[in-house]
Amino acid sequence: MTDLYIHSLAFHTPEKVLSNDDLSKIVDTNDEWIRTRTGISQRHVAGAGENTSDLATKAALKALKNAGMDASELTHVIVATGTQDNLSPSVACMVASNVGAGHVMSFDFSAACSGFIYGLSICRSFLCADPKAKILLVCAEVLTRRVDWQDRTTCVLFGDGAGALVITAEAENALAKLEDIQCLSDGDGRELIVVGGGTACAYQKGDPVDSCYFIRMMGRETYKFAVRNMSAICHELLDRNGYDISDVDLLVAHQANIRIIQAVGERLKISEDRVFTNLAQYGNTSSASIPIALSEAFDQDRIQPGSLVLTTAFGSGLTWGGALLRF
Ligand code: ACO
């Protein structure tokens, strides 16, 4: 198996911020309910005309700069997103063009909020096929354009942002090495979280936008699924690599809800000071949440050279996964 090394981590979020108080002017909610039930205080919201490819490009340019890599060296541009600018062309094609990557293999894939973990696994496969590959992996979302602002049960949860990484099989100058990874899915749970807008959401020109276009979620069931499966996959990764939870320096879970993250932390018996959260500032940015969190944790020196970082995510599909990273 070819090794996978992360050479840089970067993120970008839109300038515009929507606080819980701002939201309570749009929909029947309040800061206290949102903070205590979700841990979210504010979210970043893309401005008019600002799209997923714009956020992705900004994060990608930072990641390339941090890696000291010219875009012309890239062989692949891969984007995890559930909120593409358009169904086609892919965001990845636009990002490859925007950063000046030239003629490279570019594609988007859909694994919802598990996009970062799935993306690492996809990159590992490409590196096995071609150990000389230099891959730009971007996880980018403009979820706020897919929420129904009249549905208080979902619109308070989501925010916009992008995270980007440069990945190769070369250890030199790398930030982190992927030690192990697992990705799983269960389509029987397809109704729990749905982001519409595809062929199941038919409309004729001139029709009002149908409610199927927006994010729908069964919150309680999603909560239980998330806690159960993220904990289980973390246990499995630790067990099969001979680690104990005390070996983990930082848990960076998908930033969906503080109560989910705390419940996973309790099941894993990891102390709170070794659990990173930043969803208070960003809300749930789906696939982008783990790379944004990893970038911030790294910038804040919560991750040091030698740190073992356990990451885990869940999302629509249903999908879930986990990865062990050694910095
Ligand atoms: N403001 C005020 N009141 C609200 C709001 C709101 N924004 N939303 C719901 N309520 C009310 C409900 O109407 C209900 O009122 P009632 O008791 O009078 O009927 C009450 O609060 C409780 O509603 P529940 O939906 O039961 O609230 P719950 O405690 O389950 O919290 C939440 C909802 C936060 C969504 C929770 O179920 C949850 O965290 N689920 C996990 C799902 C998640 O985080 N998904 C992330 C997106 S998917 C992904 O990332 C892959």
pLDDT digits (tens, 9 = 90+) for 185-195: 999 999 999 99
| Cβ atoms of residues 19 and 41 within 8 Å | yes
Would you say the CB of residue 222 lies under 6 angstroms from ligand 1? yes
113 is catalytic: yes
pLDDT digits (tens, 9 = 90+) for 112-171: 999 999 999 999 999 999 999 999 999 999 999 999 999 999 999 999 999 999 999 999
Strand 215-217, strand 76-80: pairing: unpaired
Q: Note the pLDDT of residue 107.
A: 98
Q: How many Å lie between the centroid of ligand 1 and the Cα of residue 33? A: 9
Please state the separation of Cα 63 from the chain's center in Å: 16
Q: Is the pLDDT of residue 205 over 90?
A: no
Q: Please choose, from the candidates 216, 7, 5, the residue with its C-alpha nearest in 3D space to the C-alpha of residue 127.
A: 5
pLDDT digits (tens, 9 = 90+) for 27-86: 999 999 999 999 999 999 999 999 999 999 999 999 999 999 999 999 999 999 999 999
Q: Note the pLDDT of residue 202.
A: 82
235 is catalytic: no
pLDDT digits (tens, 9 = 90+) for 255-291: 999 999 999 999 999 999 999 999 999 999 999 999 9
Q: Note the pLDDT of residue 309.
A: 98
Q: Note the pLDDT of residue 104.
A: 98
284 is catalytic: yes
**Nearest residue (CA) to ligand 1, atom 51:** 315
Q: Is the pLDDT of residue 208 over 90?
A: no
Q: Note the pLDDT of residue 80.
A: 98
Q: Which of 93, 113, 123, 234 is catalytic?
A: 113
Residue among 25, 153, 227 to mutate when testing ligand 1 (max atoms within 8 A of CB): 153
Q: Would the pTM of this model clear 0.75, i.e. be above it? A: yes
| Cβ atoms of residues 219 and 151 within 8 Å | no
Would you say the CB of residue 39 lies under 6 angstroms from ligand 1? no
CA distance linking residue 96 with residue 319, whole number of Å: 27
Residue 1, class by beta-carbon neighbours within 10 Å (0-12 exposed, 13-18 middle, 19+ buried)?
Answer: exposed
Burial string for 252-284 (b: 16+ CB within 10 Å, else e) reads: bbbbbbbebbbbbbeebebeeebbbbbbebbbb
